[in-house]
Structure formats: C-alpha cells, structure tokens
Amino acid sequence: MDFRGFVAHATNDPDSRKVCYFLAINLAFTFVEVFTGLITNSLGLLSDAGHMFFDCSSLFISLGAAYVSTWPADESFPRGYAKVEILAVRVFFPSLFPNLTN
Ligand SMILES: [Zn+2]
C-alpha cells in the first residue's frame, strides 16, 4: 500500500473525496472540542472529542478500504480485493455500536 496511491485515490475518486471532506470537518470539530474542553474543564466535551476521534478513525479506515478495493486481482487474491470494504466495516462497526456486537 503506497501512500501516494492512497492520497491520489482519496482526492480523485468523487465518493472518497466526500469522505475526505467529512473527515476534515470531523477532525476540526474534534480539535475544537478538545481545546474548549481543556479550557472550560469540561469532561463532557473531552469525552465527546474522544467519540469523534473514533469517528475519524472509522472514516480513515473507510478511505483505506476504498483504496485497497480498487487493487487488481493478483496471485494471492485471484478474485480481487473488493471484499476488503466488508472487512473494514467489521473492524470499525464495533467502535460505532459497541452495545450491538457483544
Ligand atoms: Zn459518532
């Protein structure tokens, strides 16, 4: 997985670009919540910032999976990498809905 290919896919693919915009907005809100939470000594804001950070990690995993799923089939995976997106959902779904996956 090369970083340049990942960045090129994230910026050129229209759907991935939308995810990038949302990731940037979400990350900005996370930093604002951390900053405001530290200044006002608010545990609520800091815990929501932690929640939003996990949202950001889920979006980042989605971007990586969308990129890997475009790889062509090879000897190791003759059917291609399309199912990587399903595996990615399996990775980040428990972080979004931890109560449903016990
Ligand atoms: Zn969330």
CA nearest to 81, candidates 12, 7, 4, 9: 9
For residue 21, report the distance from its CA to the centre of ligand 1, in Å.
16
What is the number of structural domains in the chain? 1
- The stretch 63-72 carries a mean pLDDT of 91
Domain span at residue 28 reads 3-101
SS3 (DSSP) at 24:
helix
Q: Which residues surround ligand 1, an ion (CB under 5 A)?
A: 55
User: CA-to-CA distance for 11 and 9, rounded, in angstroms?
Assistant: 5
Instruction: State pLDDT tens for residues 82-94.
Output: 898 888 888 777 7
- Measured in Å, residue 34 CA sits from the centre of ligand 1 at 15
**Mean pLDDT across 38-60:** 94
Is pLDDT above 90 for 31?
Answer: yes
Q: Quick check: 42 pLDDT over 70?
A: yes
Q: What is the pTM of this model?
A: 0.80
CA of 79 to the centre of ligand 1 (A): 33
CA of 92 to the centre of ligand 1 (A): 11
